[in-house]
Structure 1
């Protein structure tokens, strides 16, 4: 069974292990809000390894094989405050990768105005694998980088 997992670039750069297509990985996953996934063809999850998930939100270790990986690049515009940048709506560009770097490394070609914010991975997991269910939480932005 295939699922889609997004890894935030800052977490991967901080303490993620490098991986490539064909790698076996075990990640702690949190289900994305299905209402925000729109027409995506497979269930969606976030990878989380900084223990930011509230206790009432299911987060489980899931093992699978990486079948594809993309770097998600975004463009930025000046924000309302001097020096502040905001993501330009509709600017996502997905670039296919053979491998994703681990802690302490970044993809080349990133600038302050255009950078990788996440990686999108198609992960093949066993049929019947235990996956976390989506649970809404009252906290705002607990899963976003400050």
Structure 2
């Protein structure tokens, strides 16, 4: 019988073994959801060798012959909002059959899909939803329900209006992305010298805030209609080029300020201080974004149009 084994790119790059078509291999596998597999397709499993499989999920090694190796890369998408993360999409961006891959290599692809020929009497682990996965799904469902409730309240409706107005006013001069639940928005101006803005309303039951990023500065606004009006003014300030970065370098640390100015002269200031890690001999370590801000120094941003 044949099974398909998905080898995650990060697992393979970390400490994965070499695979060659026609050769015998041993993999430690966990069953994937059969409901996500076509009825006539081989059963699908995930190769996992970092001890991350929950204790209540069956996993063991099987040995067979590699019948096919396919390198697969998926589309990546950035989530909107001031704290973006990159997620793997469902659409395949590229794929190709490979004769072999070396240890710690994926042939330039995101993942590897192995078609492995096993003896027909080989025992395979069953698909089990772990308690951990079930709890995570329940949390996600609660967050989704809370997001729907928030979108329907007065603040949620105003945030939707602000996003809609931004699309109407700025879609010709900026790229605008909004999350499916409407809680997060990112606006990236087409001009390289202009300040972007993004915001998101928290869906956490413990805190209800509007997080905003303008230029390099991060702001937290109370989640109410009054402060949503301030968000609208900050959006207008970014579009008009009324955003300034200031850098104050000291002997032990550097202070950064992002100042956003409304049309009538009111300001919002986001401040952060960074002390570099000193390695000795005049060498210091700092994140690349900090180095970029230091090199940029004091400067303002251009208007979007």
Same structural fold, with TM-score higher than 0.5 when normalized by the shorter chain: yes
Bigger-Rg structure (1/2): 2
Equivalent residue, structure 1, for 2:121: 128
- The 3 A distance-change label for structure 1 pair 40 and 73 is farther
Equivalent residue, structure 2, for 1:52: 52
- The 3 A distance-change label for structure 1 pair 68 and 7 is same
Shift of residue 76, structure 1, vs aligned partner: 2.1
Equivalent residue, structure 1, for 2:92: 91
Q: Is the 8 A contact 1:4 1:45 kept in 2?
A: yes
Q: Is the 8 A contact 2:70 2:98 kept in 1?
A: yes
Q: Is the 8 A contact 1:13 1:101 kept in 2?
A: no
Q: Which runs of 5+ in 2 are unaligned?
A: 135-305
Q: Which runs of 5+ in 1 are unaligned?
A: 109-115, 142-146
Shift of residue 84, structure 1, vs aligned partner: 3.4
Equivalent residue, structure 2, for 1:101: 102
SS of 2:35 mapped into structure 1: helix
Shift of residue 56, structure 1, vs aligned partner: 1.4
* Larger relative contact order (CA 8 Å, sep ≥ 6): 1
SS of 1:74 mapped into structure 2: strand
Q: Of Structure 1 and Structure 2, which has the larger fraction of its residues in helix?
A: 2
Q: What CA distance in whole angstroms lies between the structure 2 residues aligned with 1:78 and 1:56? A: 32
Q: TM-score, normalised by structure 2?
A: 0.40
Q: Is the 8 A contact 1:73 1:118 kept in 2?
A: yes
- The 3 A distance-change label for structure 1 pair 102 and 81 is farther
Equivalent residue, structure 1, for 2:162: none
